[in-house]
């Protein structure tokens, strides 16, 4: 939704689709980061927004999260989630230079 507001640089050679995909990647990266940052707060409210299938594969249960258990399995799970978020940030960064110059810094 922000691409039309930010504007695509007049000299951009990128496709509109790639600029929108980069913007989408930024939104996903930010949302993933928020979810990861707020695990404890969410668990205190009885909520878990982490992917249940991936938690299960990692050997981490919802009870582990609610009890605040920090185990090696938990650390490995979180490292994978952080890696995913960073991957989306890298993808998003490709689109920044396709925006109008005045819009790049805030993004």
In a domain, 41, yes or no: yes
In a domain, 5, yes or no: no
pLDDT tens profile 30-72: 999 999 999 999 999 999 999 999 999 999 999 999 999 999 9
What pTM, to 2 d.p., does this model score?
Answer: 0.86
In a domain, 31, yes or no: yes
In a domain, 102, yes or no: no
In a domain, 33, yes or no: yes
Number of domains in the chain: 1
Domain of residue 77 covers: 23-96
In a domain, 62, yes or no: yes
Answer whether residue 101 shows pLDDT above 90: no
In a domain, 3, yes or no: no
pLDDT tens profile 65-89: 999 999 999 999 999 999 999 999 9
56-68 burial, b at 16+ Cβ within 10 Å, e below that, comes to eebebeeebbeee
């Amino acid at each position: 939704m922000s691409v039309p507001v930010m504007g695509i640089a007049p000299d951009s050679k990128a496709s509109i689709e790639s600029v929108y995909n980069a913007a989408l990647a930024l939104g996903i990266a930010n949302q993933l980061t928020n979810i990861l940052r707020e695990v404890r707060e969410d668990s205190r409210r009885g909520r878990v927004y982490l992917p249940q299938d991936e938690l299960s594969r990692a050997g981490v249960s919802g009870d582990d999260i609610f009890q605040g258990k920090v185990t090696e399995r938990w650390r490995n799970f979180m490292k994978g989630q952080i890696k995913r978020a960073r991957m989306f940030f890298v993808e998003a960064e490709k689109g920044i230079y396709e925006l109008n110059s005045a819009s790049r810094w805030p993004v």
